[in-house]
Amino acid sequence: MSNQEVMQQLADRFMNDTGFREQMRQDPEGAAEREGYQLDEEDRQSLRNRLKSLTSGPNASPSSASSPRR
């Protein structure tokens, strides 16, 4: 599987699986490796960059979208 495919799968899972998302926030490399992804240094760097882009910005938090506002 290519680096791009791995990163896309991890991003999709991050966006759709709240348990996995919390694991990724705590330990992104460990969470990916526990799921069976073999990461090289390029993958690790790409994962860190992707995670930053997914969790930064005013509309980036998927958990805030699913939380009811009062």
The C-alpha atoms of residue 50 and residue 11 are separated, in whole angstroms, by 8
In which band, very low, low, confident or very high, does the pLDDT at 60 lie, cut at 50, 70 and 90? low
Residue 58 clears pLDDT 60, i.e. is over it: no
Residue 47 clears pLDDT 50, i.e. is over it: yes
**In the chain, what are the domain boundaries?**
3-55
Residue 49 clears pLDDT 90, i.e. is over it: no
In which band, very low, low, confident or very high, does the pLDDT at 57 lie, cut at 50, 70 and 90? low
